């Protein structure tokens, strides 16, 4: 179970790094929207 948690955390960090790199967001909501667009898109 602990390995699954670590894998999930690593995946989430990778997704956020790829999506957010070099971008500045005015609000947290804007950042969340960008993450969901990246995942769905």
Q: What is the pLDDT of residue 21?
A: 84
List pLDDT tens digits, range 5-36.
999 899 888 887 888 888 999 999 998 899 88
Between CA 28 and CA 34 the distance in angstroms is 10
Q: What is the pLDDT of residue 16?
A: 79
Between CA 27 and CA 19 the distance in angstroms is 15
pTM over 0.95, yes/no: no
Which residues, in sequence order, are CB contacts of 12 under 8 Å at separation 6+? none
Q: What is the pLDDT of residue 7?
A: 92
Q: What is the pLDDT of residue 27?
A: 97
**Per-domain boundaries in the chain:** 2-40
């Amino acid at each position: 179970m602990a390995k699954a948690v670590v894998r999930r955390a690593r995946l989430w960090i990778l997704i956020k790094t790829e999506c957010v790199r070099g971008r500045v967001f005015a609000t947290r909501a804007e950042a969340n929207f960008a993450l969901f667009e990246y995942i769905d898109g």
